[in-house]
Amino acid sequence: MKLGIALSGGGIRGIAHAGVLKALEENNIKIDIIGGCSSGSIIASLYAMGYKPDYIFMIFKKNAKQIAKLNSKPFLVGLKNSIFKNKKITGLKDGKEIENLCNKMALRKQIMKISDVTMPLVIPSVDITESKEYIFTNKVPENAVDNSQYITDASIGKAVRASSSFPAVFSPCVIKKHAFLDGGVLDNIPVNEVKKQGADKIIAVKFDSEKIDNKSNIMDIIMKTIDIMGSKISEESLEMSDLVLNVYTDKVGLLNVKKLDSCYKYGYNAVIENIDKIKKLYH
């Protein structure tokens, strides 16, 4: 029996996935196939390359502030320039920090391309020029309807950067003719793609959409908007999973790096609280 896990996006909250994987390992639950979107793609790729959850947490924590640090130039200024001066639309960051970090970790494992990864791995992204989902993976599924949808020759860094290019926070990730944005725009939990890789049972890990109130900032509003847009597709994905692990994160903002330790514990505790269900599923 092959067990797959699909990790959702969620900004800084994504570190909770490392806590989930840590708790699963401690309970001898072996993951055979993994997929992740946006920040979930960072955790998924590192785990697929052979890094342990504790070490992933350390990497994430060490680099989170730099990755989350926004440029001083506002997005709206960039948008204004693009309209009135015929310049390209850019986000607040180009995402190279994420790409360089993931490529660095891949090289330590002698991995040059995503196809070099042994564990089945899927990382969704969306080409905004085509309004189409693409999947970065080390294995094109046998039952694929459209082989051109799968990209196997990209570096780990490019794949993660493409999936993590959150609208209005990061610029689109340009690869050849494509301009990629966060995979969560279409499907924030890649259950279907994990299933296509041969998973018999799938655990979907998600976060509750945070409520918007008078304390919410612009990033919270953008995140909520994307949650709403992708909610129908996400619901369909969750229905295909065998167990939905909902991680409570106590209103952690998209880029709130101060809550990293808490999020890691939230992910760990979510597994412990549901360990009987998970073991029943696994066996």
CB 173 within 8 A of CB 158: yes
- pTM (2 decimals)? 0.86
- Please give the mean pLDDT across all residues of the chain: 83
| DSSP at 12 | G
Share of the chain above pLDDT 70, in %: 74
Per-residue pLDDT, 92: 54
Per-residue pLDDT, 167: 67
Tell me the CB-side half-sphere exposure of residue 42, using CA atoms within 13 A: 34
Q: In this structure, what token pair is assigned to residue 46?
A: 């590192």
25 has a pLDDT exceeding 50:
yes
3-state helix, strand, coil in the chain (%, to 5): 50, 15, 35
Q: In this structure, what token pair is assigned to residue 283?
A: 């066996």
CA angle, 179 then 237 then 134, to 5°: 20
In tens, the pLDDT along 40-99 reads 999 999 999 999 999 999 998 888 766 655 443 444 444 444 434 444 544 456 678 889
In tens, the pLDDT along 136-161 reads 999 999 888 888 899 999 999 999 99
Q: Does 164 or 41 have the greater pLDDT score?
A: 41
β-strand 201-207 against 3-7: which pairing, if any? parallel
Per-residue pLDDT, 85: 46
